[in-house]
């Protein structure tokens, strides 16, 4: 007897919780353009702003959206301090969750969020969109294949200058600061390249507030040891108060991979290159936001797809906490 399993090919119906600048400029359009996905609903602090991203319906409150039985998955792009409460609320409401980075403001909360997702049988992922970039995916593949041998040294920066005075990124109570906002990217960059069981240690860290109540610049030195005993070290810089820079370099016992432009983490609708042991690999223009939503949705529908492992977000959160402790 042959059994035929039906495949759910219906679009994943997304609900947006929060409609700030990122949703208005990038993520809403990514869903509208994507395949197998639909911007079904949105909720913001006011209905007019929610309507600006052209959802199928506008909900008066976040809770109303979570109570909508037709919403399959939610995308959370609130201030950082609101991430964890709404991750929990969304999971309890039976929704899959894609949450903007940082996932939460502590390693304990991040761990708890993933535990709840597993308990509820739901998918949860941190929306560190650069991880879905084909160029970043290629770097991960190359390192896994041994293109540089054993990784020994890592250097990555994400810096720029200028945050509006009324922006939540300058408010510590809302999870502001350069480390939480842009330092997440370089940290995810190295954690994605090394095995899950790798041990990390922050050997030094410094933070400069530049007269504000949050870190405007954070620098850290990190060392690691992989399960097979290979050791390495790296440096990351995150800043709201420096010349724009997005460097990425991984050097190993047998080679080196680097990104030659200053868009290591923000390559969006633009072509880019990768230098692999002196050879150039080129990548066409894509929209990693769209890829992120499409891949997450395919995972929901059991159609393949890829999302980072929960351990990656947990490990990054642990490193962030150690950097904060060292810098203070």
Closest among 94, 33, 319 to 185, alpha carbons compared: 319
Which tens digit of pLDDT belongs to each residue from 290-322?
999 999 999 999 999 999 999 999 999 999 999
Task: Decide if 101 is catalytic.
Answer: yes
Indicate if 204 and 296 belong to the same structural domain: yes
Indicate if 19 and 77 belong to the same structural domain: yes
Question: Using 50, 70 and 90 to split pLDDT, how confident is the model at 162?
Answer: confident
Which tens digit of pLDDT belongs to each residue from 68-99?
999 999 999 999 999 999 999 999 999 999 99
Q: pTM for the complete prediction? A: 0.96
Q: Do residues 12 and 40 lie in contact, with contact meaning Cβ atoms separated by under 8 Å?
A: no
Q: Which domain holds residue 17?
A: 12-127
Candidate list 101, 219, 251, 298, residue with the active-site label: 101
Q: CATH number for the domain including 94?
A: 3.40.50.720
Query: How many structural domains comprise the chain?
Result: 2
Indicate if 40 and 99 belong to the same structural domain: yes
Q: Report if residue 166 sits inside a domain.
A: yes
Rounded distance between C-alpha atoms, residue 12 and residue 20, angstroms: 22
Rounded distance between C-alpha atoms, residue 224 and residue 247, angstroms: 20
Q: Report if residue 6 sits inside a domain.
A: no
Q: CATH number for the domain including 289?
A: 3.30.360.10
pLDDT score, position 2: 41
Q: Report if residue 7 sits inside a domain.
A: no
Which tens digit of pLDDT belongs to each residue from 171-188?
999 999 999 999 999 999
């Amino acid at each position: 007897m042959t059994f035929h399993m039906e495949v759910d090919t219906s679009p994943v119906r997304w609900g947006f919780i929060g409609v700030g600048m990122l949703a208005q400029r990038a993520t809403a359009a990514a869903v509208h353009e994507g395949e197998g996905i639909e911007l079904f609903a949105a909720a913001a602090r006011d209905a007019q702003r929610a309507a600006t991203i052209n959802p199928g319906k506008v909900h008066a409150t976040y809770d109303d959206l979570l109570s909508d039985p037709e919403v399959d998955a939610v995308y959370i792009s609130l201030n950082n301090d609101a991430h964890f409460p709404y991750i929990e609320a969304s999971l309890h409401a039976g929704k899959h969750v894609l949450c903007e980075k940082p996932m939460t403001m502590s390693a304990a909360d991040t761990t708890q969020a993933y535990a709840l997702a597993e308990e509820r049988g739901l998918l949860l992922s941190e929306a560190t969109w650069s991880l879905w970039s084909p160029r970043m995916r290629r770097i991960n593949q190359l390192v896994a294949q041994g293109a540089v041998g054993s990784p020994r040294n890592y250097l990555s920066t994400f810096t720029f200058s200028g945050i509006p005075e009324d922006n939540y990124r300058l408010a510590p109570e809302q999870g502001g600061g350069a480390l939480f906002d842009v330092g997440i990217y370089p940290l995810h960059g190295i954690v994605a390249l090394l095995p899950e069981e790798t041990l990390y240690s922050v050997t030094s860290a410094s933070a400069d507030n530049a007269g504000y109540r949050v870190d405007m610049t954070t620098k850290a030195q990190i060392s690691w040891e992989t399960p097979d005993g290979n050791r390495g070290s790296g440096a990351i810089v995150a800043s709201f108060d420096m010349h724009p820079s997005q460097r990425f370099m991984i050097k190993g016992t047998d080679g080196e991979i680097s990104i030659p432009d200053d868009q290591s983490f923000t390559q969006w609708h633009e072509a880019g290159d990768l230098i692999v042991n002196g050879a150039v690999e080129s990548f066409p223009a894509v929209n990693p936001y769209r890829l992120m939503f499409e891949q997450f949705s395919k995972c929901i529908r059991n159609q393949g797809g890829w999302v980072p492992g929960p351990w990656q977000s947990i490990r990054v959160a642990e490193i962030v906490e150690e950097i904060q402790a060292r810098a203070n």
